[in-house]
């Protein structure tokens, strides 16, 4: 019984670890995307937002 419990606990830790790594990756990707977007000239920014509205 104890062994089953430890296996379940271990699986939970593994999945939690994977989730945390994916979450951090997602946040970093968003931050990089935002910093690139703000580096664009204002004209390109407006064109991009207009393209998005048309989609």
What's the CA gap between 14 and 7, in Å, rounded? 11
Mean pLDDT (whole number) for 30-46: 71
* pTM (2 d.p.): 0.51
pLDDT above 70 coverage of the chain, percent = 65
Distances (CA, A) of 40 to 14, 37, 44, 47: 40, 5, 6, 11
What's the CA gap between 52 and 46, in Å, rounded? 10
20 pLDDT higher than 80: yes
Range of the domain at 40: 2-54
Task: Tally the domains of the chain.
Answer: 1
- Band (pLDDT 50/70/90 cuts) for residue 2 is confident
């Amino acid at each position: 019984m104890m062994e089953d419990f430890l296996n379940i606990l271990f699986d939970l830790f593994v999945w939690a670890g994977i989730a945390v790594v994916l979450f951090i990756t997602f946040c970093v990707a968003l931050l990089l995307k935002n910093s690139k977007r703000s580096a664009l000239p204002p004209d390109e920014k407006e064109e991009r937002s207009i393209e998005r509205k048309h989609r």
